[in-house]
Amino acid sequence: MKKLLKLIGKYKIFLAFSVIFAAISVVLQLYVPVLFGDAIDEVVSAHQVNFDMMWYYLKKILIFIVISAFATWFMNLLNNRMTYRIVQDIRSQAIRHIQVLPLSYLDQHSTGDIVSRVIADTDILSGGLLLGFTQLFSGIVTIVVTLIFMFSKNVWVTLLVIVLTPFSFVVAKFISSRSYTMFRKQSETRGRQTALIEEMIGGQKVVKAFGYEKESSRRFDEINKELQNYSQKAVFYSSLTNPSTRFVNNIIYAGVALLGAFLIPGGTLTVGGLSVLLAYANQYMKPFNDISSVVTEMQNALACADRIFDLLEQKEETLDAEGAFATVDGNVTIDDVAFSYDKEKELIENFNLDVKPGMRIAIVGPTGCGKTTFINLLMRFYDVDEGKILVDGKDIREVSRHALRSSFGMVLQDTWIKSGTVRDNICFGKPDATDEEIIRAAKEARSWEFIRRLPKGLDTVLHEDSISQGQKQLLCITRVMLCLPPMLILDEATSSIDTRTELQVQEAFDKLMKGRTSFIVAHRLSTIRNASLILVMKDGKIIEQGNHEELLKKGGFYHKLYHSQFEG
């Protein structure tokens, strides 16, 4: 709750005016029973009614009700604006925070769960906040002002109400502590369900190809049943709060009526005064009843807020340095580097390498040997555990991540295309590129042939399945061709392209790599014959290194790996 109050603090003006309008509305509503009591007391006895004074009181009642209604409307308007601005702030903060989270967090949490926190949980929070503001402001003012009015009428009746009130809190607290736990589990299960749905829909072709539909449905039913169970328990516990608090409040109401009935004969209280106190007792208990009636939504909102703040409080990447490269020649030094994702399981150890400017370094080896991990370290997606990586003699931890990453052009095996035009996707790293530059890069990457055949060429809007996997990869290659960075990283960059196009793209890469330090991760060894140096990795260590001919002559692991791809 404290974390939410910090966010609400930004909107102090909205908050202040909301409280003012709530006070106006409540005070006027609470003054109405006084006027009704005075009007009742004008009925002195049978056939003795002061109609002039009664009409006077009734007119005042009507005016107060109208003003109170407008004050309530303004309060709700302010609460709406404040709530949705707070939710907007939370979502914006969440997206900004995700951008600076270490990749280790994103690797360990499903995309669906993170999306569920940013979208679904904030939606539920907004509903809870709106109800909370509306009930809270008017509720607090109602309780305070009601007690003041009640004290002015009769001290003993008011003290009775105050003494019995804690019972309502105890009952509500007892039940809500149990419902909160269920709502928390409900939110977590909803996140897992969202993750599964995203996983199954995103991989529907694979699901169908392997006949996984039944197992997929079984897994969904399992999580869905779990969600149903937690939801039912959460709603059951929270639904007990309202009738339980109403029961206690009815006892308070009966106590006021009973005590007032004893006080009337002694002249301490009039019949009109008792009707006023009964109305106030009802008004006093109304906030408790209102809050308990929406406790389900508020408990759910607090559980969702807990998950949102859990994301927002995750540690960011290590502080970024402010240094930059004046120019980048491409001299890369790996000095006794060690790294592992799981600190109990070693991956890369004693990694040493000195790369001269313009060299082409190919990295090969079996799956899981550390090839992609080395690229992650080079780009500072992860920081080394020991040792250091230097670019042109400068530790990469001494320059900003942006400066480092903008020095590399990167094409990965996993393609990524955003929803937007072809132009938007190509200009991703160079937003101010001209059409001439884009077309030149597209021609060099061999993507222009399919781009010009699209319905609107560069202005064609792309979605996930608009183009083939190979065409997506060509667009990713075009991005790099457009930026012309001083160093390159190609991680299975041509894995989704047909052989003919691959040969053409390889020619373009050869041209692009000329004079640029390049790191090439490859499984197809035929693509790295021209590399200046080939590193053969196994279990996180370099076991062989040399050029293509030297490694074949050695007859070692590379020799076996190379010939295994061309057997039979």
pLDDT digits (tens, 9 = 90+) for 59-95: 888 888 899 889 888 888 888 888 888 888 888 888 8
pLDDT digits (tens, 9 = 90+) for 229-261: 888 888 787 777 777 777 877 888 788 788 878
Whole-number Å distance between alpha carbons of 249 and 285: 6
The confidence score (pLDDT) of residue 44 equals 56
Q: Which helix (H) or strand (E) holds 402?
A: helix 401-405
Q: What pTM did the predictor assign?
A: 0.64
Give percent of the chain above pLDDT 90.
Answer: 2
Helix axes 213-239, 241-263, angle to 10 degrees: 10
Higher pLDDT, 235 or 399: 399
Of these ranges, 158-167, 269-278, 350-359, 527-536, the one predicted with the greatest mean pLDDT is 350-359
> Which has the minimum average pLDDT: 282-291, 343-352, 461-470, 505-514?
282-291
Burial per residue of 359-377, b for 16 or more beta-carbon CB atoms within 10 angstroms, e otherwise:
bbbbbbbeeebbbbbbbbb
- Which residues on adjacent β-strands are paired with residue 491? 521
CB 529 within 8 A of CB 514: no
Mean of the per-residue pLDDT values of the chain? 80
Residue 333's contacts (CB-CB under 8 Å, 6 or more residues apart) are: 353, 354, 355, 389, 390, 393
Reduce the DSSP state of residue 445 to 3 states and report it: coil
Considering the chain, what percentage of its residues have pLDDT values greater than 70?
91
CB 495 within 8 Å of CB 413: yes
**Per-residue confidence at 168, pLDDT binned at 50, 70, 90?**
confident
* 205 or 322: which leads in pLDDT: 322
Banded model confidence at residue 116, pLDDT cuts 50, 70, 90: confident
- Rounded to whole angstroms, how far apart are CA atoms 215 and 203? 14
Structural domains of the chain in order of their starting residue, each with its CATH number: 2-195+231-312 (1.20.1560.10), 332-564 (3.40.50.300)
Residue 388's pLDDT band (cuts 50, 70, 90): very high
- pLDDT higher than 80, residue 505: no
Q: For residues 520 and 265, which has the higher predicted lDDT (pLDDT)?
A: 520
- pLDDT of 332 above 70: yes
Where is pLDDT greater, at 269 or 384? 384
pLDDT confidence band for 568 (50 / 70 / 90): very low
